[in-house]
């Protein structure tokens, strides 16, 4: 089944509900958000639009309950952060409770989101009108609310977030491009405190896309992977298995500002990066067992 064409400058979002499963989201020329679903080797594509967002809206996606629940975060034509949901026991897509906040974002804001299954905790990160990175929280306190205010980021900075658990507590990492700087930085949450992290990559062009994944191996070690578009316009991988190391190019060069999204399966032995190529198609790069990156099956 063929998929609708992606608009030039579309964002890309991905959620991975389980092993060899994922949902990929992008925007078509009419502003409709489209979905492709991978289920253990087979791809399918939506034949009808899901919902609409402003042209070239940022996108972020999460899924839970084994993929029975999906949430996508975007920005409306009026500039408000919005949430759309899919539930396997309901028809079609529906507007989420976050929409009631009417939270206005910066004109060029991107969005990142993360979920964990402890009373359905969700964290969404955007830039507010003053370009601060703002956290929005959904938990068992009774709905959506504003959370932490993080550093001011460069106008239109890409955003990425990952989460894992240590000694029963959440650890978060938010990646962004610093204001008045060409440096991609990391902001960390551990032991109920936010602080600046060690990741710091200078000389990155404005609006460069950033995405990240985290996984744990059998020995419970934490492994971080950050992907970003550098000054050569290639997508570059950085690994942290105890310290940050540059690993080289995943794909490229691409046109500056191309959007990317990543996922991991099987304790990080399978990595995937989805990106918009120069012909505007959404494509996939894959890595297996830490080997060379190769062209994946997905194309939209």
What CATH number is associated with residue 258? 2.120.10.70
What is the arrangement of strands in the sheet containing 210-216, beginning at the earlier edge strand?
210-216, 222-229, 235-240, 244-251
pLDDT of residue 30: 93
Q: Is residue 208 part of a domain?
A: yes
Residue 2: pLDDT band by 50, 70, 90 thresholds?
low
- Range with lowest mean pLDDT among 141-145, 146-150, 206-210, 244-248: 141-145
**pTM, whole model, 2 decimals?**
0.97
Euclidean distance between CA atoms 189 and 192, whole angstroms: 7
Q: Is residue 1 part of a domain?
A: no
Across 107-136, average pLDDT = 96
pLDDT of residue 210: 98
Is the pLDDT at 10 greater than 60? The verdict is: yes
pLDDT of residue 180: 86
pLDDT of residue 48: 76
Bridge partners (DSSP) listed for residue 189? 172, 194
Euclidean distance between CA atoms 240 and 228, whole angstroms: 14
Q: Is residue 135 part of a domain?
A: yes
Q: In terms of Cα–Cα distance, which of 143, 139, 124 is closest to 60?
A: 124
Q: Is residue 4 part of a domain?
A: no
Count of domains forming the chain: 1
| Average pLDDT for the chain | 95
% of the chain residues with pLDDT over 70: 99
Torsions phi, psi of 153, nearest 5? -110, 165
Is the pLDDT at 276 greater than 70? The verdict is: yes
Is the pLDDT at 102 greater than 70? The verdict is: yes
Q: Is residue 108 part of a domain?
A: yes
Q: Is 79 helix (H, G, I), strand (E, B) or coil?
A: coil
Is the pLDDT at 142 greater than 80? The verdict is: no
Is the pLDDT at 174 greater than 70? The verdict is: yes
Domain that holds residue 262: 13-299
Cβ(24)–Cβ(34) under 8 Å? Answer: no
Q: Is residue 153 part of a domain?
A: yes
**Residue 152: which H helix or E strand, with range?**
strand 143-152
Q: In terms of Cα–Cα distance, which of 115, 9, 26 is closest to 71?
A: 115
| Residues 39-90 pLDDT 10s | 988 999 987 778 999 999 999 999 999 999 999 999 999 999 999 999 999 9
109 class by beta-carbon count within 10 Å (0-12 exposed, 13-18 middle, 19+ buried): buried
Q: Is residue 3 part of a domain?
A: no
Q: Is residue 147 part of a domain?
A: yes
Torsions phi, psi of 91, nearest 5? -85, 130
Beta strands per DSSP E along 76-142: 81-87, 93-95, 111-116, 121-127, 132-139
Euclidean distance between CA atoms 199 and 8, whole angstroms: 31
């Amino acid at each position: 089944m063929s998929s609708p064409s992606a608009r030039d400058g579309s964002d890309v979002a991905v959620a991975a509900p389980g092993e060899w499963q994922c949902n990929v989201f992008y925007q078509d020329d009419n502003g409709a958000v489209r979905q492709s679903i991978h289920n253990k080797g087979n791809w399918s594509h939506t034949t009808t639009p899901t919902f609409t967002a402003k042209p070239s809206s940022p996108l972020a996606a999460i899924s839970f309950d084994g993929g029975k629940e999906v949430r996508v975060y975007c920005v409306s034509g009026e500039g408000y952060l919005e949430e759309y949901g899919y539930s396997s026991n309901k028809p079609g897509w529906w507007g989420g409770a976050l929409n009631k906040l009417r939270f206005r974002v910066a004109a060029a804001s991107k969005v990142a989101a993360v979920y964990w299954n402890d009373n359905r905790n969700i964290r969404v990160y955007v830039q507010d009108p003053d370009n601060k990175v703002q956290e929005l929280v959904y938990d068992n306190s009774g709905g959506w609310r504003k959370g932490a205010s993080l550093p001011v980021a460069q106008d239109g900075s890409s955003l990425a977030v990952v989460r894992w658990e240590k000694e029963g507590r959440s650890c978060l990492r938010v990646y962004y491009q610093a204001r008045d700087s060409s440096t991609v930085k990391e902001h960390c949450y551990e032991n109920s405190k936010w602080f600046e992290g060690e990741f710091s990559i200078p000389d990155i062009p404005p609006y460069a896309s950033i995405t990240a994944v985290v996984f744990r191996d059998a020995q419970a070690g934490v492994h971080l992977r950050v992907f970003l578009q550098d000054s050569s316009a290639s997508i570059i991988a950085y690994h942290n298995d105890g310290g940050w190391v540059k690993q080289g190019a995943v794909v490229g060069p691409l046109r500056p500002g191309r959007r990317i999204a990543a996922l991991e399966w099987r304790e990080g032995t399978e990595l995937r990066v989805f990106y918009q190529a120069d012909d505007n198609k959404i494509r996939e790069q894959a890595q297996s067992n830490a080997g060379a990156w190769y062209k994946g099956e997905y194309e939209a």
